[in-house]
Chains A and B, each alone.
Chain A
Amino acid sequence: MNPQEEKVKIITEEFIENDEDADVGRQKTSRVQRRKRKKQLPTAGPDEMVSEKSHLGDQQEPGHEDPNADARPLSMPTRRGPRSLPPIPSASRTGFAEFSMRERMREKLQAARSKAESALLQEIPTPRPRRLRSPSEKELETEFGTEPGGKIQTTQQEDDSQSYSRVKFRDSVRKIKSKTPVPPGFPSAEEAYNFFTFNFDPEPEESEEKPKAKNRDGANQEEGEGEEEEAPVPEGIDKTDEEVLLDDKDAVDFLLGLDRGAEDIVAVRPADYESVHIRLQKEKELLFIPSRRTVPTYKKLPENVQPRFLEDEGLYIGARLEVPRTNQNIMENRLLMQEPGRRWFGDDGRILALPNPIKPFPSRPLVLTQEQDIKAELETLYKKLQALRNAVQVSLNPAKTPKSLDTTRRAINEYKSEIRQTRKLRDIEQEKDRTLLKTIIKVWKEMKSLREFQRFTNTPLKLVLRKEKVDQKADEEAYEAEIQAEISELLEEHREEYEQRMDEYRSAHQQWKAWKKAQRTKKKKKKQGVEEHPDDEMEEPYPEEDPVKPVPPEPTNQAVIEQEVRERAAQSRRRPGEPMLVPELSLAGSVTPNDQCPRVEVLRREDVKRRSVYLKVLFNDKEVSRTNSRPLGADFRVHFGQIFNLQIVNWPESLTLQVYETVGHSGTTLLAEVFLPIPETTVVTGRAPLEEVEFSSNQHVTLDHEGVGSGVPFSFEADGSNQLTLMTSGKVSNSVSWAIGENGIPLIPPLSQQNIGFRSALKRADAISSIGTSGLTDMKKLAKWAAESKLDPNDPNNAPLMQLILVATSGESYVPDFFRLEQLQQEFNFVSDEELNRSKRFRLLRLRSQEVPEFRNYKQIPVYDREIMEKVFQDYEKRLRDRNVIETKDHIDTHRAIVAKYLQQVRESVINRFLIAKHHFLLADLIVEEEVPNISILGLRLFKLAEQKRPLRPRRKGRKKVTVQNLSDGDIKLLVNIIRAYDIPVRKPITSKFQQPPRSSRTFSEKQAASPTTHSPTHSADYPLSQVLVRPFVEVSFQRTICHTTTADGPNPSWNEELELPFRAPNGDYSTTSLQSVKDDVFINIFDEVLYDVLEDDRERASGIHTRIERHWLGCVKIPFSTIYFQAKIDGTFKIDTPPVLLGYSKERSVVAERGFDPVRSLSEGSYITLFITMEPQLVPGESVREKFDSQEDEKLLQATEKFQAECALKFPNRQCLTTVIDISGKTVFITRYLKPLNPPQELLNAYPNNPQATAELVARYVSLIPFLPDTVSFAGICDLWSTSDQFLDLLAGDEEEHAVLLCNYFLSLGKKAWLMMGNAIPEGPTAYVLTREQSHYLIWNPCSGHFYGQFDTFCPLKSVGCLIGPDNIWFNIQRHDSPLRINFDITKPKLWKSFFSRSLPYPGLSSVQPEELIYQRTDKAAAAELQDRIEKILKEKIMDWRPRHLTRWNRYCTSTLRHFLPLLERSQGEDVEDDHRAELLKQLGDYRFSGFPLHMPYSELKPLIEAVYSTGVHNIDVPNVEFALAVYIHPYPKNVLSVWIYVASLIRNR
């Protein structure tokens, strides 16, 4: 490097100093001197050089275009040694070229100089000025010869490059400084020349200073020829040195010493010549040319090793690839020269090689496949024909056939017949081929025309008809020859036939002649003896008439045959000279890009893009895997490229692929099923070919764009003729194979499984069976065959077969007939199963772990069986036994028993479902995490930060809720605050004879209007003002624990007492589910404490008080525990459920009432009590199951409901908004589907035909008589299940929703305007009421009690209204208030009621889930009567049981009186019979002091009845001479709805 560099410097110096000195010769001479001076100006040269380098680059191009460019090649060889070069070429040539060049350069320089400054620092890539093209062949050779020397040089240069780089760095610094070293307008010839010479300089400098680090500037072209270059780089230097200047020694000196600056002498010497021989010799030293001779084997093998031929040893060696011997030899020789040469050779001394990977069958370009098949077939047929013909020819020549003549002839005949057949086949095939070609062309033309018509193409399919030119003459000849051959054959055939026929004819003729002769003779005979043999004559002619004179066969006409043949040929064959058409189908056609397509086509393409396809793999009809969903390509191809490994444990019976299509984001549709055959045992992974299975579906698809749907007729023609119907169809290309295990054994089910289907499948496609080995069932036969046919057992192709034979014959792989899932189960059983079943302890443990309700919370299971009582299991076993037995002990009425059973089962299944759901945890179940707050909360929080941590006056905080986890008995208490009561009935003095004006039954309106006022005058007259009216107290009973308040005075008492009742969960299970299913009620009974003076003797009155306290039941409030549990607290005023007839008591008609201050109140007269009930500690109510139930509703509708609900919840979170509910089968149903007019029982309609209001009341009463059973109790923890009205009537149990729905449906059917009203009521909490619109006002109906309230009734239990539901819409209350008193029920006002279905979402006309009509069976009266008797009996027994220490006497007379009275009560619905009744009773039982009342209940079970009777406390009277009366009346309503009346009374005889 440096030497070169130095030289450059030298040259530049030269030019700078002797500017005018253009004379080259002088240069040469003065060089030495100058060189000496070089040290004085060491940097000037580089400066100059670098500064002009860029100009150089710019001007390179023009230089090339120079007409004198021919000079360039000459200078080429000098390219690597430029520093020494300049003088030479210029010297050798005349100065002219040089001069003209210089002139040009000067001009260019002028122009370029301005550019130079800006371009200075850029290294503009330019094409290399010089190429290494010029050196002749010889030179090239020498190049190689000199290469080593060159290499040495390079390394040396590299050594020096470091020192150079320093210089270079300095240079580059200077580069910037000295931008314009030469003043403009100073382009001397020297400078130009200088410039010109520099042409060479920068480049080697550049290229060599950073040879590897980066691409040489603009050297891209050279880069490609790197090989070429690398050698020349150093070599060039050498060469030029040699050629130009120095002898060897000097050159070396020069090269090595320049940088040392030791020798500055440059001598010019003639070109050095190296002779070819020397060069060759040098080459020989350096180059290795492997010989082409065969390498002896011993060289290739380790010493003293004999070659070993594996094939001889019986090992399998695949076929080697065909490689020419010489190539092999060269390779071997080369390998031997390499260091670890021997490892390339195998034991047999040959190069190791893999078997030939090329498969023996040809592959061909994508051509219409069917056509190809026929082609191939044709070819074979042709060949066969040819071969047969040859054979015939050969065998016809008797000299050549050594076989016996006989066999030959037979063979010939066979051949001939075969020829005939083959020809026939060939003709057929040919014809087929032609027609096929024609259809191909036709279809293609159609397609083309269609594409033109549409002005776009959407498939890349392209058909190219390749014409194969045929030599007309040769073709004609061949054609003719073919025809001739055929003709001759035919002729021959015909001749044969002719001969044969001739033979026949001859023989026939002979026969005929003979017959003729015989005939003649016969005739003669006949003539002789006609009379003798008349019969014979008659008989004979018939049989002998047959032989007709045979017609001699016509000799074959050659011309005819020829014509025939020619005709046929013309028809089926290509005409001679006609070009052969080879259709080729390719996918090379261009598809019209989207932007050039019409819109419809773009639409179609987009639609195609939206579609994706996936496959499901079904094994034995079970889905085992599925592919990814892949979009459909523009050419309707989908590439999956997935391999599914299937480990099968069942016998493979079927393998199915299901093709599914997905359009956009909507659902998937099953397109088709593709059944794949179970692969043969020989088909192993890697060897299975790809197979295509077609499928098609009969699905109808109509598309709204251009695309052709499927199953839709369409036409390609413009006029719509020629209609086509395409079906969705396609091909699945797949391959199925058996896997190969780790040790290379195919994982195939053993054949010992005698499966016929499998074997037959095996038989069908196995090659062996086609060979002729009959079936594979006989493995020995197969093995024998394999041995005989010398099947290479080591050939991997045969491996599966060999494996099969091995497995089958050795019998080693015994497969049991059964499959065991857990093989080690036996070992893990720590006791035997019998013992496990026998042991009570184990049984208990197991039942507990199965979460059987009875044992779920069993604690401390004893260690020993003996400690476990048998009775532990009794309940459980009984339950199990009873599951299917319907017992009628508890359920007197069988229908109800069945219903109860059914309910029980539904409940169990639902609870099981719930239990499963309970084990699915959500994050919220485990982790308490604050929600991300919104701004307002955040603001509050920030505000709170500033608050004191522990304020002196803490604010009241909500009670902490307790999760029911570690609670036990006694932890939970029920707190009941009895505050006050209003309007308690007051005692009436016993007036001996009370005359009540007889009243006929009153109408409804009259009742309403008159009832408050009618009694008042008479009553108030009766009361002595001073007397205590009533002394009520309240008794609360819950779970048979009883607490009571103190006694207060008067009809409006105020107790303000807190009662505390303990709570016990069933089975000690305090889990949420268990608590939810507590069915106990809290009874709040109001009693009147009555003191009776029992002093027998008036004389003792002065000394003692002897009174007896009696308590008279006045009424009760019943609140289910579940309500308390879910509501957490119950606070409000409740109507006391008073018996319709309370003997001895009457309502106090307050003076206020008489003033008539509230007509509102008149509607709901009764007694009220204010209560506050809660639990301590507060329990967290269980959540409803969050499982999303599936639905059959429209997806859009469901989304709309969610949206609606979310919107409503946002505005009014506390208002109930219901859009969907869950039906009894667990499906989500839109709520309006429940509402539909349904007919009430006809019986009820007939009762008051002219009074719609009375009918409505009756209907409400009927509905209220259906027992109430909250869902939360039956389906613990699960949200409400809504049953339809018929289900409800069948079950005869339901909660508010069902009652409300039924009532609403009845009202709708009665022609009322009715809505379901969802809201909050007391005490039910969230509930459903029914709203009806009367003429001028609205009525609110409580469906469970049958009561109705005006909109402005303050005592209406409904406290807030969330939404109204009609049969076709839902209205959500968006008014400010939700109390029914303060809202407007006009749902037409969108500002007050937000409707679900609106203009934007019209009502889609949902079908109802309700039945068309309700069918009512008339209840069996006799059964009711029987039930009545039984209930009466049971109740009587119960009362006696409750009074164990007293005698219970029954007053039969009174009982019968009461029994007569009860139907009356039923008829009047328990209203306003009091006075009549009282009068009557007094009349009949004047001697008794009577206290009692009728209880009215819907009938569901016996237990509630008993409970109710018990709660009245009638039995508690312990007056010695007390008598009891109990009457039961059951009024049957249709559909087994029973209204039960129980009249309980105690009688004490007055003295």
Chain B
Amino acid sequence: MAAAGPSVFLLMVNGQVESAQFPEYDDLYCKYCFVYGQDWAPTAGLEEGISQITCKSQDVRRALVWNFPIDITFKSTNPYGWPQIVLSVYGPDVFGNDVIRGYGVAHVPLSPGSTSVCENICFRHKRTIPMFVPESTSKLQKFTSWFMGRRPEYTDPKVVAQGEGREVTRVRSQGFVTLLFNVVTKDMRKLGYDTGPPDTHGILGPSPPQGLPG
């Protein structure tokens, strides 16, 4: 097997759920999970995570900082179903019930690269995800859901990573979450997948793909 070249490629993602902007809310925590296609499998790391509750910063930015690390490695045979990270942010409402404050999703960056910390250099994999929540179907329901602390939620947060069936929902957007990604891939090029700019440190020229990777 080793002689025949790799049969899977690997995708290592680490980074963090850095911070969020929710002007109206405070004391939020966030959950993340990954959604990926059938040809993907996590090999190491955590697929799901739940962060601490954070309060707003007292400065002008009013940022909610989690700095919650993500670290996961996938293996796959097929770029179809590239992993997506699904975020859902929760926080207490007026009555102290935990309610949803936003859902969001982003694809793991396709190209390898790391985040530069320096302010002046552009962040390659810094993502700011707009968040949204489903809306109540009627005014009355809106009131009762507010009153009872049972806001409409997705049956599964992973719904936001799929396009099917979304047409039946209505959402309202609120807030942003900033994510940082560092991505390392292995053997992608060997299998014939070229992502991002040519890596000067990588293999010199793509090796001819054996077989027919699709």
Contacts and interface: CB of A to CB of B under 8 A. Distances in A.
Interface of A: 830-831, 835, 839, 841-842, 845, 848, 857-867, 919, 921-923, 925-933, 941, 945, 949, 963, 965
B24 interface: no
Size class of the B contact interface (CB-based, 8 Å):
35 or more
Interface stretch (B13-21, B83-91, B119-127, B205-213): B205-213
Given A859-B38, A929-B141, A932-B141, 8 more contacts: A841-B211, A860-B77, A863-B77, A864-B7, A926-B166, A926-B169, A928-B154, A930-B144
Contacts of B41: 859-860
A307 to B, nearest CB: 66
A930 B141 contact: yes
25 contacts: A830-B214, A835-B212, A841-B211, A842-B212, A845-B78, A845-B214, A860-B8, A861-B78, A863-B77, A864-B213, A919-B165, A921-B165, A925-B168, A927-B153, A927-B154, A927-B169, A928-B152, A928-B155, A929-B136, A929-B141, A930-B145, A930-B148, A930-B150, A932-B144, A945-B95
B166 A862 contact: no
Nearest to A840: B212
Interface in B154-205: 154-156, 158-159, 164-169, 191
A965 B35 CA distance: 12
Contacts of A867: 7
B39 interface: yes
A215 to B, nearest CB: 48
Contacts of B78: 845, 861, 863
Contacts of A848: 38
A863 B191 contact: yes
B7 A862 contact: yes
The listed residue with most B CB atoms (<10 A of its CB), out of A835, A839, A865, A921, is A921
A965 B156 contact: yes
Interface of B: 4, 7-8, 38-41, 76-78, 80, 95-96, 134, 136-138, 140-141, 144-145, 148, 150, 152-156, 158-159, 164-169, 191, 210-214
A863 B140 contact: no
B29 to A, nearest CB: 18
Closest 3 A-B residue pairs measured CB to CB?
A921-B165, A864-B211, A929-B152
Given A926-B166, A930-B150, A963 B155 contact: yes
B34 to A, nearest CB: 11
Given A862-B77, A927-B153, A927-B169, A841 B148 contact: no
A929 B145 CA distance: 8
A861 B164 contact: no
A857 B164 contact: no
A925 B165 contact: yes
Contacts of B168: 921-923, 925-926
B137 A858 contact: no
Nearest to B37: A859
B44 to A, nearest CB: 16
Given A928-B155, A930-B150, A858 B7 contact: no
Contacts of B137: 923, 929
The listed residue with most A CB atoms (<10 A of its CB), out of B7, B145, B167, B212, is B212
The listed residue with most B CB atoms (<10 A of its CB), out of A848, A864, A949, is A864
B185 to A, nearest CB: 15
B172 to A, nearest CB: 13
Contacts of B210: 864
Given A866-B211, A930-B144, A861 B152 contact: no
A927 B78 CA distance: 31
A839 B39 CA distance: 17
A863 B7 contact: yes
Contacts of B7: 862-864, 867
Nearest to A930: B150
A977 to B, nearest CB: 31
Given A921-B165, A922-B168, A865 B155 contact: no
A867 B80 CA distance: 19
A1176 to B, nearest CB: 21
A1285 B153 CA distance: 47
A1287 B166 CA distance: 41
Contacts of B148: 930, 933, 941
B89 to A, nearest CB: 17
Contacts of A862: 7, 77
Contacts of B140: 932
The listed residue with most B CB atoms (<10 A of its CB), out of A861, A927, A941, is A927
A841 B212 contact: yes
A867 B95 CA distance: 58
A866 B145 CA distance: 56
Nearest to B77: A863
Contacts of B159: 926
A842 to B, nearest CB: 6
B135 to A, nearest CB: 9
Contacts of B141: 929-932
A455 B148 CA distance: 68
A925 B7 CA distance: 38
A931 to B, nearest CB: 8
A923 B39 contact: no
A1322 B134 CA distance: 42
A95 to B, nearest CB: 84
B189 to A, nearest CB: 13
Given A929-B136, A941-B148, A923 B169 contact: yes
B211 A865 contact: yes
A926 B210 CA distance: 42
Contact of A859 (B4, B39, B158): B39
Contacts of B8: 860, 863
Nearest to B38: A859
A701 B152 CA distance: 53
